[in-house]
Amino acid sequence: MPEMDVALKDAMQIDGAVGAALVDYNSGMALGTAGGSRDFDLTVAAAGNSDVIRAKLRTMEMLGIDEAIEDILVTLNDQYHLIRPLSGRSVRGLFLYLVLAKSRANLALARHHLKRIESTIDI
């Protein structure tokens, strides 16, 4: 899937990017990854963050909130984890996952870049 590879490569160009993945949140499977390290397994993180999205969607349904999730931010001591569910018809059930080094990242710009990258993905 060339579009996915290009999208992940673009995500890794974001200042502070440590890793990126395109993930199916129904199965928890990473369809593609870029970056990461021996100490940070993106496929494990992708599966875990699938649970985060599913939990949030269930909660919104119970509360009767009929809106789309733009993104979910998890802030750690040294990292930002951005989870962006994709909204196009051909990409339902997928999300972009981006891990940023907090010391090198601009969160607002990273969110802006992920939104742009999302618009280029058509699987």
Q: pTM for this structure?
A: 0.92
- The C-alpha atoms of residue 6 and residue 102 are separated, in whole angstroms, by 24
Beta strands in the chain (DSSP E): 17-24, 29-35, 72-75, 79-85, 94-101
Per-residue pLDDT of the chain (123 residues; tens, 9 = 90+): 558 889 999 999 999 999 999 999 999 999 999 998 888 899 999 999 999 999 999 999 999 999 999 999 999 999 999 999 998 666 678 999 999 999 999 999 999 999 999 888 776
| Whether 10 contacts 113, CB under 8 Å | yes
- Domain range annotation of the chain: 2-120
Q: Which CATH superfamily is domain 2-120 in?
A: Dynein light chain 2a, cytoplasmic (3.30.450.30)
Q: Tokens for 95, please give them.
A: 């999300």
